[in-house]
Chain A
């Protein structure tokens, strides 16, 4: 996956990738909340993770990530996007 400079969550992404396998072992299918290089917690649903992130960090960037073996890309089949 190409990660440009526009992605402010690079540290969180790197942390998640480094710990993906151990997270899979103990929390597959759940959602991880990551800030910087710290795992805050795991949650049953994405919305619970988002809510916890906003309550803890307010309007700051944080990463909520589904704990799965591989991320499937979202497909866009029209030419509306300039990428």
Chain B
């Protein structure tokens, strides 16, 4: 069972942040490779595990770097919104290591407000795993 543990200087301040890589979905790669079209290789970014997030989120810069186009639109609500806002949806892979990937993730694109990460790992991915938050040890573990 893949398991990812991080010990941070101040987990309460930083939150459960980790490095992941994101890339185009297997479906897109499978469709374009026979046509000789090359897609962006997966690249690393900083993500935070957010149990308050319905689904995984990428900021616009990460989406632009992926070079992929939206496959849908989803309404979202946040503590700051007074009515639902439409966000683009993208079909991606999220790599937690070289040999463990969560495929077919429908991530939404949304700006993030002055935070040092570019991706939220939402409950759509957490549904496959177990999150252990050991606050007293400044450590968390995400297992699948």
User: Which residues of A line the B interface, CB within 8 A?
Assistant: 1-4, 6-9, 13, 46-47, 50-51, 53-55, 58-65, 71-83
Contacts and interface: CB of A to CB of B under 8 A. Distances in A.
A54 B28 contact: yes
Interface of B: 25, 27-28, 30-32, 35, 37, 39, 48, 50, 52-55, 57, 60, 67-81, 83-88, 91, 104, 106, 108-115, 120
Nearest to A46: B106
A77 B53 CA distance: 7
A18 to B, nearest CB: 15
Contact of B84 (A55, A60, A64, A73): A73
Nearest to B53: A76
A54 B31 contact: yes
Given A1-B86, A80-B48, A59 B27 contact: no
B32 A58 contact: yes
B116 to A, nearest CB: 11
Contacts of B25: 50
5 contacts: A6-B109, A61-B71, A62-B69, A74-B108, A81-B113
B27 A78 contact: no
Nearest to B67: A59
Contacts of A62: 69, 71
B120 A80 contact: yes
Nearest to A3: B86
Given A58-B32, A81-B111, A82-B113, A64 B74 contact: no
Contacts of B50: 76, 78, 80
Nearest to A53: B71
B112 A82 contact: yes
Nearest to A63: B72
B111 A83 contact: yes
B78 to A, nearest CB: 5
A4 B85 contact: yes
Given A73-B84, A81-B120, A83-B111, 8 more contacts: A4-B85, A54-B30, A54-B31, A58-B31, A61-B71, A77-B78, A81-B111, A82-B113
Question: Interface centre among B78, B87, B88, B91, by most A CB within 10 Å?
Answer: B78
